[in-house]
């Protein structure tokens, strides 16, 4: 620093400095409040009006549970909820297995074309949903898979879930699981596996007793992420399901076209609660699994 | 005839791409021996250990454990256990589960596992800690658990990869003594990798000094220190003076000329040197003495060397003082004198002196 130091601070100067730092504090607080209000106020309003005792979603006229009751009585909504759950569970299970295996393969082995496969796994994360949706739609049409449904009795609900939607969800979920699991794998101390084999464990025992338990927080985190993404997905479901198959988000979209009632607010609140619970669960798991290496599930 | 050795390496080479990590190493490690692989980082000592454990396969050469060739046998099929540098305790298992792991994999009966886990915990003086998680233990305790986890399997050979590296100095000293006592108690062959020469000298029955993938010398601590085979060993182990010389004669006596032209006798010369070669005279600082010029004997003995110099630096280090002396040719040597002489005047900087040593202590090494 070649510039000469400013003259010693006078009392006035000190006051000015104090005012400036206070002003900075106030404006930061205000900015923070405004930012949070912008993000969360619509959600709060949405939740509040799901309890509104009138058909209006903007004018408050008293508290009621009625819209929730109507929601659960609406056969189409219930069917779409079962569809969403079934789809999310099945695609999460498949994607978690595939994603974990892919992560292990990419992290542990060297093979021809690894770099290409590696970047391919990021593709579904990066490209716009709509591009992926159209891609899948064309694929299902051209391959002749079409929209053949899987007819299944799921907790008493008779579902017909097109294989195409399941494949579509597995396609993007696998990438997310692979990325989350791989991050965990990269942090893992490989000498632990060496220690296991040094203690007479064969390759399978090493995987079963050491690698898999150490990876578990990553796998669960990846699975929860996949489950949430599948529940929330609209675009890919919409394009790959053909006619007549509704998940909850697709159903909500259909309802909005006929006008917005607090029933939609109630459905949205339900989805919000489920998504938030999943996030809380994943945070709890990563906290319990030990500390610093938390599983990030943010999108 | 191989059965005499716990571990034998025959002409083992390990290459990683273009890098030769271990270069034609042959070693014979006796049963029940505390054997150290000593060298600076990157010298190949850890790779050598990992090949014995089975984590790495030799590029060429053979490894025998109690006469049995290991070949491509994986680590879980070898009668050795390893104590890792970072301990590698399984964080998701309790201490007892960690110790039981090896026995479980070998399907030892449950009640025997329980008994042996308790014994192992007692052996490392951590009885009652079985239900804790490794994270809840201190570094020294984790170290002892790693040791218990390996020893409980009663391996034929225990491999230790710088196991005390992460501990602080005081704990390390205590663990050195504990480890050595434990090894004598269990009578298992220990192969110990370290870069700490003092550690190796204190604990080992024999030491292999390695550098750049090559074994420079194998011997007991005394012979490694007193009779270093080459310049690297002399330099790496302890403190040594290297005085540049030229070989004048090798038999019947070894005579070398200093740069001043003065000739001195030496006790030993490295193989491969011939008359006229440039070399270094290696001698430990504590093997020399300083005389006042007037003390110079009239007819000096052939077995003693006397070289003129000037004291330039004094460092008091408690038990002794390090005197730096510059010789006539400008080379510096360090002489350590014990601070135990009563009534003798200490040396002062700038004083003329005569450095003297017994020729038997001087070793002539290749440059």
| pLDDT, tens digit (0-9, with 9 covering 90-100), for A55-84 | 887 888 889 999 999 988 988 899 999 999
Residue in A191, A192, A199 nearest the CB of B105: A199
Q: What is the pLDDT of residue A7?
A: 58
Euclidean distance between CA atoms B286 and B333, whole angstroms: 11
Task: For B64, list phi and psi in degrees, rounded to 5.
Answer: -115, 135
For the domain with range B239-366, which CATH number is right: 2.60.40.420, 3.60.20.10, 1.10.1510.10, 2.40.50.140? 2.40.50.140
Which residues of chain B make contact with A196, given a CB cutoff of 8 A?
90, 101
A-facing residues of B in 141-170 (CB < 8 A) are: 149-150, 153
Interface of A with B in 196-225 (CB under 8 A): 196-202, 205, 209-210, 213-214
Minimum Cα–Cα distance from A193: chain B residue = B88
Task: State the pLDDT at residue A281.
Answer: 85
B105, B135, B153: residue with CB nearest A205: B105
Which residue positions in chain A have pLDDT lower than 70? 1-9, 289-299
Q: What is the pLDDT of residue B152?
A: 94
- CB neighbour list of residue B232: distance below 8 Å, 6 or more residues apart: B209, B211, B216
Nearest to B84 among A195, A209, A213 (CB): A195
pLDDT tens per residue across all 367 residues of chain B: 445 799 999 999 999 999 999 999 999 999 999 999 999 998 999 999 999 999 999 999 999 999 999 988 999 999 999 999 999 999 999 999 999 999 999 999 999 999 999 999 998 889 989 999 999 999 889 999 999 999 999 999 999 999 988 888 888 888 899 899 989 988 999 999 999 999 999 999 999 999 999 999 999 999 999 999 999 999 999 999 999 999 999 988 899 998 888 889 999 999 889 999 999 999 999 999 999 888 888 887 878 889 999 999 999 888 889 999 999 888 899 999 988 766 677 888 999 999 999 999 999 999 8
Task: Look at B76 and A201 and tell me if their CB atoms are within 8 Å.
Answer: yes
Q: Give the distance from residue B193's alpha carbon to the nearest chain A alpha carbon, in angstroms.
A: 16
Tokens of A232: 């929330």
The per-residue pLDDT for A290 is 52
- Residue B98, chain A, CB below 8 Å: the answer is no
CA distance B208 to B189: 15
Cα(A285)–Cα(B49) distance, integer angstroms: 39
- Which chain B residues are within 8 Å of A212, Cβ to Cβ? none
Contact B124, B98 (CB under 8 A): no
| Cα separations in angstroms, A49 against A42, A62, A65, B285 | 11, 10, 11, 90
Q: What are the structural domain ranges in chain B?
A: 2-234, 239-366
What CA–CA distance (Å, rounded) separates A178 from A272?
A: 25
Tokens (6 digits) for B186: 């269990």
| Domain residue limits, chain A | 11-49, 67-288
In chain A, what residues touch B153 (CB-CB under 8 Å)?
199-200
For chain A, the distance separating the N- and C-terminal CA atoms, rounded to the nearest angstrom, is 43
Q: Are the Cβ atoms of A200 and B88 closer than 8 angstroms?
A: no
Cβ B135–A290 below 8 Å, yes or no?
A: yes
Q: For chain A, say whether B75 makes contact (Cβ under 8 Å).
A: yes
CATH for the stretch A67-288 = 1.10.3720.10
**What pLDDT shows up at residue B107?**
95
Distance (Å) of CA A74 to CA A80, A154, A227, A263, B145: 10, 18, 24, 10, 62
**Residues of B124-157 as b/e, b for ≥16 C-beta within 10 angstroms?**
bebeebbeebbeebeebbbbbbbbbbbbbbebbb
pLDDT the model gives residue A294: 37
Dihedral of CA atoms B349, B350, B351, B357 in degrees, nearest 10, equals 80
Residues in B 253-312 with any Cβ partner in A closer than 8 A: none
Judged by CB atoms closer than 8 Å, whether chains meet at A197 and B76 is answered as: yes
| pLDDT computed for residue B53 by the predictor | 96
B82 near A CB under 8 A: yes
CB atoms inside a 10 Å sphere around CB A169: 27
E-only strand ranges, B31-166: 34-38, 60-65, 68-69, 80-83, 157-161
Query: Which residues share a beta bridge with B37?
Result: B193, B208
The ipTM estimated for the assembled molecules is 0.83
Q: What is the CATH number of domain B2-234?
A: 3.40.50.300
CA atoms within 13 A on the CB side of A32: 6
What is the residue whose two structure tokens read 């630096």? B313
Residues of chain A found within 8 Å of residue B84, distances taken between Cβ atoms: 191, 194-195
């Amino acid at each position: 620093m070649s510039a000469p130091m400013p003259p010693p601070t006078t009392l006035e100067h000190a006051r000015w400095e104090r005012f400036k730092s206070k002003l900075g504090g106030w404006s930061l607080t205000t900015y923070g409040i405004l930012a949070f209000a912008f993000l969360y106020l619509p959600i709060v309003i949405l939740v509040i009006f799901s309890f509104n005792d009138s058909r209006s979603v903007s004018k408050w006229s008293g508290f009621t549970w009625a819209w929730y009751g109507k929601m659960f009585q609406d056969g189409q909504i219930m069917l779409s909820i079962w569809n969403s759950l079934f789809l999310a569970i099945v695609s999460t299970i498949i994607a978690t297995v595939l994603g974990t295996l892919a992560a292990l393969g990419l992290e542990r082995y060297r093979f021809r074309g690894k770099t290409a496969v590696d970047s391919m796994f990021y593709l579904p994360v990066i490209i716009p949903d709509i591009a992926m949706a159209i891609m899948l739609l064309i694929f299902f049409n051209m391959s002749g898979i079409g929209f053949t449904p899987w007819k299944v009795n799921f907790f008493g609900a008779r579902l017909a879930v097109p294989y195409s939607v399941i494949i579509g969800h597995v396609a993007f979920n696998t990438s997310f699981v692979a990325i989350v699991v791989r991050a965990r794998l990269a942090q893992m101390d490989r000498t632990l596996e060496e220690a296991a084999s040094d203690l007479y464990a064969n390759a399978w025992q090493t995987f079963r007793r050491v690698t898999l338990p150490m990876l578990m927080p990553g796998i669960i985190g990846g699975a929860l992420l996949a489950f949430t993404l599948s529940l929330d997905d609209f675009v890919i479901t919409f394009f790959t399901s053909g006619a007549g198959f509704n998940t909850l988000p697709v159903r909500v979209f259909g309802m909005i076209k006929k006008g917005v009632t607090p029933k939609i607010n109630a459905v949205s609140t339900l989805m919000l609660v489920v998504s938030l619970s999943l996030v809380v669960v994943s945070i709890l798991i990563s906290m319990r699994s030990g500390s610093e290496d938390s599983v990030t599930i943010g999108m | 005839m191989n059965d005499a050795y716990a571990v034998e390496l025959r002409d083992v080479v390990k290459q990683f791409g273009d890098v030769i990590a271990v270069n034609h190493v042959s070693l014979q490690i006796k049963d029940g021996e505390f054997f150290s692989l000593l060298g600076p980082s990157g010298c190949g000592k850890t790779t050598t250990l990992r090949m014995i454990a089975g984590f790495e396969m030799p590029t060429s050469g053979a490894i025998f454990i109690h006469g049995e060739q290991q070949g491509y046998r994986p680590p879980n099929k070898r009668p050795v256990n390893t104590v890792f540098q970072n301990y590698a305790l399984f964080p998701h298992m309790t201490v007892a589960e960690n110790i039981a792991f090896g026995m479980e994999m070998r399907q030892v009966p449950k009640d025997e596992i329980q008994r042996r886990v308790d014994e192992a915990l007692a052996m490392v003086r951590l009885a009652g800690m079985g239900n804790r998680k490794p994270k809840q233990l201190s570094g020294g305790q984790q170290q002892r658990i790693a040791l218990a986890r390996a020893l409980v399997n009663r391996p034929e050979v225990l491999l230790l990869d710088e196991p005390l590296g992460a501990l602080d100095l005081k704990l390390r000293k205590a663990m050195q003594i504990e480890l050595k006592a434990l090894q004598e108690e269990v009578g298992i062959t220990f192969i110990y990798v370290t870069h700490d020469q003092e550690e190796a000298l204190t604990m080992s029955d024999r030491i292999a000094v390695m550098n750049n993938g090559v074994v420079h010398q194998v011997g007991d601590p005394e012979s490694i220190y007193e009779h270093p085979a080459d310049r690297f060993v002399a330099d790496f182990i302890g403190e040594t003076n290297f005085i540049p010389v030229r070989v004048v004669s090798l038999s019947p006596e070894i005579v070398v000329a200093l740069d001043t032209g003065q000739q001195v006798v030496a006790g030993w010369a490295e193989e491969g040197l011939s008359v006229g070669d440039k070399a270094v005279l290696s001698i430990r600082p504590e093997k020399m003495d300083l005389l006042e010029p007037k003390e110079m004997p009239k007819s000096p003995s052939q077995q003693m060397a006397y070289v003129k110099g000037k004291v330039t630096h004094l460092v008091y280090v408690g038990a002794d003082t390090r005197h730096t002396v510059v010789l006539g040719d400008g080379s510096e040597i360090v002489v350590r004198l014990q601070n135990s002489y009563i009534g003798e005047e200490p040396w002062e900087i700038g004083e003329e002196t005569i450095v003297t040593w017994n020729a038997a202590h001087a070793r002539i090494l290749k440059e």
